[in-house]
Chains A and B, each alone.
Chain A
Amino acid sequence: MADDRVALRLRGVTKIYSLADSEVIALDTVDFEAQAGQVVVIMGPSGAGKTTFLTIAGTLMKPTSGTIEVAGIETTKLKEKELASIRRENVGFIFQSFNLLESLTALENVRVVAAGGITAPASDTNRARELLNMFGLDHRLHSLPRQLSGGEKQRVAIARSLMNNPEIILADEPTGNLDYKRGQEVMELLLQISVELRKAVVIVSHDHRVREVAHRSLWLQDGSFRDTIVTANDPVCGQLVEVDSASAVTWENKDYYFCAGECRQLFKANQQKYAKRESK
Chain B
Amino acid sequence: MLIVARKNLFSERVRLAISVGGIALSVLLITFLLALFRGWNEKVGGFVEEVDADIWIAREGTTDFLVAASILPLEGADERFARIDSIERWSPLIAVPMGATKGDTKMDIQLIGFDPATGMGGPVRVTDGKSVPGPGEMIIDQALTSRYGVEIGDSLNAAGTDWEVVGKSTGGDFVASQAVFVTIEQAQAALVMEGLATFLLVDLVEMRDPATYARTIAGNQPGVVGITSEEFAAATRDRVLGDVIPILTVILILAFIVGLAVAGLTIYTATVEKAREYGILKAVGFPNSYLYRVVFEQSIVTGLLGFGIGTGITVVAGSFIQDLVPQFVTLIRWQDVLAVAGVTLVMSVLAAYVPIRRLAAIDPVAVFKA
* Chain A residues proximal to chain B, CB less than 8 Å: 51, 54-55, 58, 60-61, 80-81, 84-89, 91, 93, 95-97, 99, 101-104, 108, 112-113, 116-118, 120, 160, 164, 172-173, 176-177
Contacts and interface: CB of A to CB of B under 8 A. Distances in A.
Contacts of B367: 95, 99
Contacts of A89: 285
B168 interface: no
Contact of A55 (B1, B280, B368): B368
B3 A116 contact: yes
A116 B286 contact: yes
Nearest to A115: B3
Most A CB contacts (10 A, CB to CB) among B1, B280, B368 go to B368
Given A60-B364, A87-B284, A88-B284, 8 more contacts: A58-B283, A84-B286, A87-B285, A99-B277, A116-B3, A120-B3, A176-B370, A177-B370
Contacts of A88: 284-286
A60 B286 contact: no
Contacts of B370: 96-97, 173, 176-177
Contacts of A80: 287-288
A174 B326 CA distance: 70
B365 A55 contact: yes
B69 interface: no
Nearest to B294: A116
Interface stretch (B6-14, B60-68, B125-133, B154-162): B6-14
Closest 5 CB pairs of A and B: A88-B285, A87-B285, A103-B11, A103-B7, A84-B287
B290 interface: yes
Nearest to B11: A103
Contacts of B4: 101, 103-104, 112, 116
A127 to B, nearest CB: 16
Contacts of B38: none
A88 B283 CA distance: 9
Nearest to B290: A116
A112 to B, nearest CB: 6
24 contacts: A51-B365, A51-B368, A84-B285, A84-B287, A85-B285, A86-B285, A87-B285, A88-B285, A89-B285, A93-B283, A93-B284, A96-B368, A99-B367, A103-B8, A103-B11, A112-B3, A113-B284, A116-B2, A116-B3, A118-B2, A118-B6, A164-B285, A172-B368, A177-B370
Nearest to A83: B285
Contacts of A116: 2-4, 286, 290
Interface in B255-294: 276-277, 280-288, 290
Interface residues of B, number: 25
A95 B367 CA distance: 8
B285 A102 contact: no
Contacts of A108: 3, 7
Nearest to B278: A101
Contacts of A55: 365, 368
Interface of B: 1-4, 6-8, 11, 276-277, 280-288, 290, 364-365, 367-368, 370
B2 A117 contact: yes
A60 B2 CA distance: 24
B3 A95 contact: no
A117 B290 CA distance: 10
A89 B7 CA distance: 24
A160 to B, nearest CB: 7
A34 B231 CA distance: 85
Contacts of B280: 95, 99, 101
Contacts of B285: 84-89, 91, 113, 164
B273 to A, nearest CB: 10
A81 B7 CA distance: 25
Most A CB contacts (10 A, CB to CB) among B11, B283, B285, B290 go to B285
B283 to A, nearest CB: 6
B283 A60 contact: yes
A175 B242 CA distance: 73
A104 B8 CA distance: 9
B3 A104 contact: yes
Contacts of A93: 283-284
A97 B365 CA distance: 13
A117 B3 contact: yes
Contacts of B281: 101
A85 B282 CA distance: 10
B228 to A, nearest CB: 58
Nearest to A104: B7
Given A81-B287, A84-B285, A95 B368 contact: yes
A118 B368 CA distance: 27
Given A87-B285, A116-B2, A118-B6, A60 B276 contact: no
Most A CB contacts (10 A, CB to CB) among B280, B284, B290, B365 go to B284
A54 B282 CA distance: 15
B297 to A, nearest CB: 10
A61 B285 CA distance: 13
Contacts of A160: 284
B293 to A, nearest CB: 9
Contacts of A120: 3
B284 A61 contact: no
B362 to A, nearest CB: 12
Contacts of A87: 283-285
Contacts of A51: 365, 368
A12 to B, nearest CB: 21
Nearest to A51: B368
A85 B285 CA distance: 6
A118 B1 contact: yes
A101 B367 CA distance: 12
A113 B4 CA distance: 11
Given A84-B287, A91-B285, A118 B364 contact: no
Nearest to A99: B280
